Amino acid sequence: MPLKKYVVTTDDAELTASMQRGYAAQFGASVVTEIASAHLPMITNSAEVIAAAQDLAESHPAV
What is the distance between the terminal CA atoms of the chain, rounded to a whole angstrom?
12
Task: Grade residue 1 by pLDDT with cuts at 50, 70 and 90.
Answer: low
Q: What's the pLDDT tens digit per position in 13-34? A: 999 999 999 999 999 998 899 9
- The whole-model pTM stands at 0.81
| Residue 42 pLDDT | 92
| Residue 8 pLDDT | 96
In 3D space, the residue among 19, 55, 25, 57 whose CA is nearest the CA of residue 39 turns out to be: 19
How many domains is the chain built from? 1
**Per DSSP, which regions of 1-63 are E strands?**
5-9, 31-35
Enumerate residues 6+ apart whose C-beta is below 8 A from 29. 4, 5, 6
CB atoms within 10 A of CB 9: 23
Task: Grade residue 62 by pLDDT with cuts at 50, 70 and 90.
Answer: low
Task: Grade residue 12 by pLDDT with cuts at 50, 70 and 90.
Answer: very high
**What is the span of the domain harbouring residue 50?**
5-59
